Amino acid sequence: MFSNTLDNYAHNNNLNGMNTYFKVLFGIVTMLVSLISTSPVVPLIIALFMSILIVFIAKVSWKFYLKFFLFPFSFGLITFIFMAIFFGVGAHILELGIFNLAVTADGFNLGLLVFARMMGGFTCLAFLALTTPMTELFSVLRLIKIPQIVLEIAMLMYRYIFVFLDEAINMYHTQETRLGYSSLKKSFKSMGMLGSNLFIRTWMKGEQAFIAMESRCYDGSIKTMKKQGSIKTMGTRNLVLLVLFEVVLIMGVYFTGSFRIF
């Protein structure tokens, strides 16, 4: 079960063994570079580079990645189109011929920049999400001093997402076996029952889990081992590589800063 989910790829990919801190730092710093860029060139290069990393190095199935990528891509494209048409003033570069709408150079450049930044930022996040299991991200979050209570809730949520996903899938199948989804009207009804039933189950499961935790001396806070892991485990080589890569990107940002298509 769950063979085609994000979580599964995060746990089984070629970059799994790589140092978590390295991956996190790499993803976040690259994303920041993508965001500060004033021209679309560097973010688009980052998007391409990250996609190559994800598909060819981490060996995440390209079909899955494409589907995953399609959502922000289409969203970005719509943003781009709207900005090109409705934003900016000045010379028209393309008359649409209806309602006096026209694309301005100003709007086009701004739209393209936003689109490029979105793609750059998204691919960096996708890299993190697809190569780093949540379980390891928790230890990073702990290191950067995220409040304990937030972490606890996140941990429990992460675990129970899968428990309830499992239950929901089972319930869905049992409803399907009894033809619960044979028409649109029935589908709505079945889905509603599934939802409400799932809600009641979460309540019951929560109570059960609390009893089980109490049996193991739970006193209101989840204590975790202080893992020896620190940012230092990243290694000098990785650190140098990372710094070099980011410096090259920032130089790229500097030199292409005034690049405009129109």
Partner 1 sequence: MNVIETKDITYSYPDGTLALKDVEFNAAKGKIIALLGPNGAGKSTLFLHFNGILKPNKGTVRVNGEPLKYDKAGLMKVRQKVGIVFQNPDDQLFAPTVMEDVAFGPMNIGLPDEEVEERVKESLERVGMEGLENKAPHHLSGGQKKRVAIAGILAMRPEIMVLDEPTSGLDPKGASQIMHLLYNLNQEGMTIVISTHDVDLVPLYAYNVYIISEGKIIKEGSPLEVFEDVETIRGANLRLPRIAHLMEILGKEDKLPFDKPYPLTIGEARRRILKEFNDRVR
Residue pair 88/107 in contact by the 8 Å Cβ criterion: yes
Which stretch of DSSP H or E encloses residue 241? helix 236-256
145 part of the interface to partner 1, by CB under 8 A = no
133 part of the interface to partner 1, by CB under 8 A = yes
Smallest gap from residue 40 Cβ to partner 1 (A): 38
Q: Write down the H helix ranges in 87-178.
A: 105-131, 134-143, 148-177
203 part of the interface to partner 1, by CB under 8 A = no
Per-residue burial over 64-83, b if 16 or more Cβ lie within 10 Å, else e, is: bbeebbeebbeebeeebeeb
Q: Which of 71, 86, 162, 199 binds partner 1 (CB under 8 A)?
A: 162
Residue pair 194/175 in contact by the 8 Å Cβ criterion: yes
Q: Which of 87, 158, 181, 245 binds partner 1 (CB under 8 A)?
A: 158
Q: Which of 163, 179, 248, 261 binds partner 1 (CB under 8 A)?
A: 163
- Neighbouring residues of 62: CB distance < 8 A, sequence distance ≥ 6: 55
- Residue 51: CB atoms within 10 A of its CB come to 18
Applying CB under 8 A, what is the total number of residues that bind partner 1?
32
6 part of the interface to partner 1, by CB under 8 A = no
Estimate the crossing angle of helix 41-52 against helix 20-36, to 10 degrees.
150
Where in 208-247 is the site for partner 1 (CB under 8 A)? 208-209, 211-219, 222-226
135 part of the interface to partner 1, by CB under 8 A = yes
143 part of the interface to partner 1, by CB under 8 A = no
15 part of the interface to partner 1, by CB under 8 A = no
2 part of the interface to partner 1, by CB under 8 A = yes
146 part of the interface to partner 1, by CB under 8 A = no
Output the CA–CA distances (angstroms, integers) from residue 132 to 128, 137, 221, in the order listed.
6, 7, 26
Q: Which of 6, 11, 88, 256 binds partner 1 (CB under 8 A)?
A: 11
Q: Which residues bind partner 1 (CB under 8 A)?
A: 2, 7, 11, 133-135, 138, 155-156, 158-160, 162-163, 166, 205, 208-209, 211-219, 222-226
